[in-house]
């Protein structure tokens, strides 16, 4: 009996020894890699605005034709956002995000080889279709990797990456154009996206429990009171009627439409406007174009932190997120 008790004690002590004393912090590395993804997303997307004056001249494009090029991206982005994001729910975030970034890397590079308007329209339309699922799928990834009480801040950092990428794009694009020309700029930016893609595919996992560096305490913290989410593949039929008749969905749609309506100017026409209508140099237009999105970088971070703080403070997630949006 004593020997049995001793052995039981040894087993119990051994089990206790395997329990980590502090939670791992792998979710913050996930947030960093998502932040870099959105930053690269906007670098590749917004660099066209800086290249537009030179492209228009070299390819003999009018402002109206250049407008069609910008619209081609936005149109595809709107059309394919839902189906591509739905595909991410079905296949898992790792597979879809990797595929998205591979495609947009190739299309960024191909933009530098475009011989004229038709090629640009086709490339930018395909570009918009590829990038359309990036933010929804990355947001889905953060929902898996962060508990409810940290998700607004995590998404604030995610969107902060996009704004930072958009604010850095003019300066980096100006630098590349000055030394290598606008065609080489697209090749350089596309190669940077491909490098990120390789790291993401190697390191990221859809389910926190499948990642080797996540310990039991962090997994418990991530899941909280929620049930384990299982694999990255969703089951069942998508409730389209319930989704499309949701008042919350249409309220969010209206909010984002109003927000994006003005935002598009800053990532498309701003450098051309400053150069053609105000006589600024390429260098100064790149610098001034960075200011609005630079401010947005801080706003995204502050808004996410404010929403997570206000929720428990005022006892309403709805008013916390509404207030933080109107910051």
Here the CATH number for the domain that contains residue 191 is: 1.20.1250.20
pLDDT at 117 over 50: yes
Domain assignment present for 17: no
- Provide the domain count of the chain: 1
Average pLDDT over residues 105-118: 93
Q: Please choose, from the candidates 239, 232, 269, 305, the residue with its C-alpha nearest in 3D space to the C-alpha of residue 53.
A: 269
Question: Which span out of 10-14, 91-95, 238-242 was modeled with the highest average pLDDT?
Answer: 91-95
Domain assignment present for 125: yes
Structure confidence at residue 297 as a pLDDT band (50, 70, 90): low
148: domain range? 24-208+246-325
**Separation of alpha carbons 248 and 141, rounded Å:** 21
**Alpha-helical runs (H) found in the chain:** 2-18, 26-58, 63-91, 93-111, 117-131, 134-145, 151-180, 182-203, 216-223, 240-244, 247-266, 270-272, 278, 282-314, 317-325
Residue 6 has φ and ψ, to the nearest 5°, of -65, -40
Q: Which two tokens stand for residue 93?
A: 């975030």
Domain assignment present for 277: yes
pLDDT at 123 over 50: yes
pLDDT at 90 over 60: yes
Q: Give me the pLDDT at residue 18, please.
A: 57
pLDDT at 327 over 70: no
pLDDT per position as a tens digit, 34-44: 999 988 888 88
Q: Give me the pLDDT at residue 304, please.
A: 65
Q: What is the DSSP letter of 179?
A: H
pLDDT at 1 over 60: no
Average pLDDT over residues 105-127: 93
Domain assignment present for 66: yes
Average pLDDT over residues 227-255: 71
pLDDT per position as a tens digit, 211-226: 999 999 999 999 875 5
Domain assignment present for 1: no
pLDDT at 111 over 80: yes
Domain assignment present for 9: no
pLDDT at 265 over 80: no
């Amino acid at each position: 009996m004593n020997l049995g008790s001793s052995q039981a004690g040894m087993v119990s002590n051994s089990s206790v020894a395997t329990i980590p004393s502090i939670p791992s912090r792998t979710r913050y590395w996930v947030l960093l890699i998502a932040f870099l993804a959105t930053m690269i997303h906007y670098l590749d997307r917004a660099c066209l605005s800086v290249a537009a004056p030179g492209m228009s001249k070299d390819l003999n494009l009018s402002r109206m034709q250049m407008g069609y090029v910008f619209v081609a991206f936005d149109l595809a982005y709107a059309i394919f956002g839902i189906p591509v994001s739905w595909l991410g729910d079905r296949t898992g975030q790792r597979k879809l995000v990797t595929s998205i970034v591979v495609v947009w890397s190739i299309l960024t590079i191909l933009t530098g080889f475009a011989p004229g308007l038709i090629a640009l329209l086709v490339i930018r339309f395909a570009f918009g279709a590829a990038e359309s699922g990036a933010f929804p799928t990355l947001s889905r990834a953060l929902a898996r990797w962060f508990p409810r009480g940290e998700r607004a801040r995590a998404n604030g950092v995610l969107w902060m990456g996009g704004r930072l990428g958009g604010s850095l794009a003019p300066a980096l694009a100006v630098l590349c154009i000055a030394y290598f020309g606008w065609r080489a700029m697209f090749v350089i930016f596309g190669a940077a996206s491909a490098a990120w893609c390789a790291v993401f595919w190697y390191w990221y996992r859809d389910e926190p429990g499948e990642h080797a560096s996540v310990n039991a305490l962090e997994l418990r913290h991530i899941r909280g009171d929620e049930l384990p989410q299982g694999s990255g593949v969703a089951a069942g039929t998508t409730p389209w009627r319930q989704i499309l008749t949701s008042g919350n969905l249409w309220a969010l749609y209206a909010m984002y439409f109003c927000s994006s309506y003005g935002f598009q100017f800053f990532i498309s026409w701003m450098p051309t406007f400053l150069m053609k209508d105000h006589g600024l140099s390429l260098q100064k237009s790149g610098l001034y174009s960075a200011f609005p999105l630079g401010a947005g970088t801080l706003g995204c971070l502050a808004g996410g932190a404010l929403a997570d703080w206000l929720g428990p403070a005022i006892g309403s997630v709805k008013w916390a997120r509404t207030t933080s949006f109107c910051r």
